[in-house]
Amino acid sequence: MQRAPSPRPGTAPLSACTALVLVLVLTLSHPEGARVLRVTVGTGGPGGVYQVYGDGLAQVTAASPNTEISTRVTGASVENLELVARGEVDAAFTLADVAALSVAGRPPFDGPLPVAAVARLYDNHTHVVVHRDSPYEEVSDLEGTAVSVGAPGSGTEMMAERLLGLAGIGEGSDGPGVDRRRLAIEESAEALASGEVEAFVWSGGLPTRAVAELAEETPVRLLDLSQHVPELVEGYGEYFSELPVPAHTYPGVPAVRTIGVPSMLVVSAHMPGEDARDLTRTLFESRADLSAVHPVALHLDPRSAIATRPVPLHPGAADHYRSVKYAHDPWAVPPSPEGRRARRCRAGPRGRARGSRPASPAG
C-alpha cells in the first residue's frame, strides 16, 4: 500500500499558527458571552421614508460585530403593528394615531395588541398630490375621480379614508365618491404620471423619494389640507398638527400647509429589556450616520422621543432614557413574565441583567 507523503518541514507549525490566528480573530470579533442584537424591522413600501430609514439603520450598523439588523418590506403602519404583535418582525415603523388604536384594540384591530414604543422619531406630512394644471383645490373636488388611497394596511390608507369622509366623499356618502386604487407610493406616483389616477394620498417624511422623483419629471403640486386639522383632532385625538411643506421640498412644488402625524418605532411588549435598551441606544448612536441617509433622522431627540403616549414606552427603552437623564416611568409598560424570564436567562448565575428593573406601571 502506498504511503501518504510526509508533510514538508514547517508546514504543521504554520497550520497551527494559522488556526490560532483564526481563533483569536473570531474571539475578538465575538468575545465569549458578548450579546448580539438581532432585529428584523418592518418598514414600508419602496420609495417611502420608512423603507429608507430602516434600510439605512441596517446599513450604518453593518460593521458592528454585535448588531445584526435586517428589514422587511411591508404595507406599513397597520400591517407593521400586526406583524410585531405576532412576532413576525421584532420592530417596526408606524404612525402614532394608528399605534394608539392598536393598544386600545379599536378598529381596524380586533383587540388590544401587545406593542410598546422605543421612540417617537419624526413627523409625517400628509400629501395629496395632483397635476399642477388640474382644477382640484380641495379634497372634495376629487369627487368622481380615480384616487390612490395608499397601500392596503398602511397608515396612509387610514388617513385617506378619514380625509375623504371629512370632505363628504367617503364610503357611504350620497354622491359618487371616488374610484379607489390601493397602491403603494411608487405605484401611486407612476399612476399619476400616466393618468391612471387624478390624485394620490401619501403620509411620509420630507422629502419622500418617490414624490421627489415624480416632481422632477411631471409638474405636480400638493393640496392644502390645513382646514382638516381641527376636525381630525376633534374626531380622532391629539395626534394631528398643522405643519408646512416648504417650497422647494420637491422640485417646482409651491409651499402648502398640511397635516402632521408623528412616526414611532415600536416593538413587542414581550421583547427582553436588554434588547429594547440596546435597540434604543443603537438608534441614537446611529443618528449622525442616518442623517446622511435621510434628513428626517436629524429630528431624533431624547426629549421628544419619549413622547409616545398612549403607547407605553418599553421598559428597556425607558432604561436607556434614564441613562441619558430622560426618565419616563409613568408611561413605561411593566415587564412581561416572558421578558423577565428571558432577562434572568441572559444574566446567568451572577444575577439580574442590567435594564431588567421593572419600571413603574402605566398610569
Q: What was the pLDDT predicted at 172? A: 81
How much is the pLDDT for 174? 81
Query: In this predicted structure, which of 99-113, 208-222, 336-350 has the lowest mean pLDDT?
Result: 336-350
What residues does each domain of the chain span?
Answer: 34-121+264-350, 125-262
Contacts of 211 (CB under 8 A, 6+ apart): 127, 129, 185, 189, 202, 204, 220, 250
Q: Is the pLDDT of residue 254 over 80?
A: yes
Q: What 3-state class would DSSP assign to 290?
A: helix
CB within 8 Å of 157: residues ≥ 6 apart: 78, 149, 150, 151, 182
pLDDT at 330: 46
Write out pLDDT tens, residues 138-163. 999 999 999 999 999 999 999 999 99
Please determine whether the domains at 34-121+264-350 and 125-262 fall in the same fold group of CATH. Answer: yes
Amino acid identity of 223?
A: L
- The secondary structure of 18-77 as a DSSP string is HHHHHHHHHHHHS-TT---EEEEEE--STTSHHHHHHHHHHHHTTT-TTEEEEEE--S-H
The pLDDT > 70 percentage for the chain reads 80
The whole-angstrom separation of Cα 124 and Cα 259 is 8
- pLDDT for 337 equals 43
* pLDDT given at position 230: 97
Q: Is the per-residue pLDDT at 21 higher than 70?
A: no
Architecture of the structural domain at 34-121+264-350: 3-Layer(aba) Sandwich (3.40)
Does the pTM surpass 0.85? The reply is: no
Q: Three cell numbers at 224?
A: 392644502
Mean predicted confidence (pLDDT) in 164-170: 96
CA distances to 76, 121, 139, 183 from 187, rounded to whole Å, are 15, 26, 21, 6
For residue 244, give the 3-state DSSP assignment: strand
Q: Does residue 324 have a pLDDT over 60?
A: yes
- Residue 176's Cβ-side half-sphere holds a number of Cα atoms within 13 Å equal to 9
Q: Over 90: is that where the pLDDT of 187 sits?
A: yes
In the predicted structure, residue 105 carries a pLDDT above the cut 60 = yes
Q: How confident is the model at residue 329 (pLDDT cuts 50, 70, 90)?
A: very low
Classified by CATH at the fold level, domain 125-262 comes out as D-Maltodextrin-Binding Protein; domain 2 (3.40.190)
* pLDDT of res. 35: 83
Across 218-227, 316-325, 340-349, least confident range: 340-349
* Cα dist from 31 to 26, 34, 82, whole Å: 8, 5, 36
Mean of pLDDT over the chain: 86
pLDDT of residue 31 exceeding 70 = no
| Residue 81 near residue 96, CB atoms below 8 Å | no
pLDDT range class, residue 26, cuts 50, 70, 90? very low
Cβ atoms of 139 and 167 closer than 8 Å:
yes
Task: Name residues whose C-beta falls within 8 Å of residue 239's C-beta, 6 or more positions apart in sequence.
Answer: 95, 96, 97, 100, 233, 261, 262
How many whole angstroms separate alpha carbon 316 and alpha carbon 56?
23
pLDDT given for residue 340 in this prediction: 42
Q: Are 182 and 130 in contact (CB under 8 A)?
A: no
For the residues 70-86, what does the mean pLDDT come to? 97
- Find, among 37, 38, 109, the residue nearest to 77 by Cα: 109
Q: What is the pLDDT of residue 34?
A: 72
What pLDDT score does 326 carry? Answer: 66
For residues 101-114, average pLDDT: 97
More confident residue, 5 or 213: 213
Query: For the ranges 95-109, 302-316, 339-353, which has the lowest average pLDDT?
Result: 339-353
- 35-55 pLDDT, tens digit per residue, is 899 999 999 999 999 999 999
Measured CA angle at 262 (ends 70, 113), to 5 deg: 65
pLDDT attached to residue 342: 40
Beta-strand relationship, 179-181 and 146-148: parallel
**Grid cell in block for residue 260:** 402632521
Give the pLDDT confidence of 288-303 residue by residue, as tens digits: 999 999 999 999 999 9
